[in-house]
Amino acid sequence: MEDLWVRGGRILDPEKLFFEERRVADEQRDCGGRILAPGFIDVQINGGFGVDFSKATEDVGSGVALVARRLLPHGVTSFCPTLVTSPPEVYHKCLTGLLCFRKTDLMASFSASDLLADEAVLPQIPVKSGGPHGAGVLGVHLEGPFISREKRGAHPEAYLRSFEANAFHDVLATYGPLDNVCIVTLAPELDRSHEVIQALTAQGIRVSLGHSVADLQAAEVAVQSGATFITHLFNAMLPFHHRDPGIVGLLTSDQLPPGHCIFYGMIADGIHTNPAALRIAHRAHPQGLVLVTDAVPALGLGNGRHTLGQQEVEVDGLIAYIAGTKTLSGSIAPMDVCIRHFLQATGCSVESALEAASLHPAQLLGLEKTKGSLDFGADADFVVLDDALHVQATYISGELVWQAEEAGP
């Protein structure tokens, strides 16, 4: 595409402008032959720049705003704040800070006084569009506590849960209201998980499979029940085995519903996933690959001790560990770094690398008509990149929200 036309925050079909309205552009900007790509979408980010989304504080709003602003230089125009396994009171407080509540039948078990009490703890921060203030918040990703003890990774064992007799009620009792939650990661081998998957997907929430010891059959049943995503493929799950490939086998399974695309997250930070594993996944199922950062609060801070929810994290160079262990604890690589590493490791096309951070996450969330592309009618969220895929400028709704110092208009 040589020219991109924008009006009213959306990408415009210039033919209609020329032939129906007989108008020309009011303002023109020369991008100097650089690459224009859809804005990046990060569906798994635990915090960054000292902000921990899983920490209940009295100022969650300013923390989310800080991360949203600091993501702009990395080309991220939308993201899903991610909460790791936490005690129920943290979910109630944190989620009230991150969400706009609306009353639904499923919330009948929560009284108005309960909701008001939670809102009094943390000021409400609505899911909102991006702009000069920062990247947009698309909804919350709840990773845990309904996950496997054996594959809990950096999640604290003390707060892990299983589903009891009234499974979905347990979910509501743990999380509180689910309005504007967009992804829930759970382990499909847990009893009654299929009931929960069906109930969550009926609310428009994407269910992701992860932190799990599920075999392939259990994973296939979960997808047949409505699951559509795999949380950080290869990490915190059974390794691939030729007689039972486990969750990894979903990439080539012939037991998925017709026309059903399974998406899977990949942490391409050069630490979590060997380049050969990146290549295997991409070549097996390229259209489902979603790049995620899984960034922790230590993102952008350098070496030292930091937090991730209830855990202490130690950063040493490019690696974040649970303090005192060799257990990986998320990533400290921003999205643009992951894209460049993914491109180098897989040898894929530039278009494929960029789609893995834009179009695919938008498709996962059902937002492909407005996000993740430069199609006519889509939101004018895009990035300007040099040939090495370094971000030169970030636009949201057609407005310049960040620009590198050395870059032109």
Active site residues: 294
Residue carrying structure tokens 């922790």:
296
Collect all residues with Cβ–Cβ distance below 8 Å to 152 and sequence separation of at least 6.
Answer: 85, 144, 160, 211, 236
Residue type, 141: H
What is the helix (H) or strand (E) element at residue 394, kind and residue range?
strand 391-396
Strands (E), 336-390: 382-385
Buried-exposed string 376-400: b where 16+ CB fall within 10 A, e elsewhere: eebbbbbbbbeeebebbbbbbbbee
- Using only C-alpha atoms, the chain has a radius of gyration, in whole angstroms, of 21
The DSSP symbol for 331 reads B
> Using CA atoms, how far apart are residues 306 and 304, in angstroms rounded to an integer?
7
Residue 205: CB atoms within 10 Å: 21
> Using CA atoms, how far apart are residues 369 and 348, in angstroms rounded to an integer?
25
The DSSP symbol for 304 reads E
End-to-end C-alpha distance for the chain, whole angstroms: 18
Q: Which two structure tokens, joined as six digits, stand for 196?
A: 């929960």
> Using CA atoms, how far apart are residues 107 and 180, in angstroms rounded to an integer?
13
> Using CA atoms, how far apart are residues 199 and 193, in angstroms rounded to an integer?
10
> Using CA atoms, how far apart are residues 28 and 10, in angstroms rounded to an integer?
16
Distances (CA, A) of 188 to 88, 239, 285: 21, 16, 21
Q: How many helices (H) and strands (E) does the chain have?
A: 11, 20
> Using CA atoms, how far apart are residues 31 and 247, in angstroms rounded to an integer?
43
> Using CA atoms, how far apart are residues 267 and 160, in angstroms rounded to an integer?
23
> Using CA atoms, how far apart are residues 124 and 126, in angstroms rounded to an integer?
6
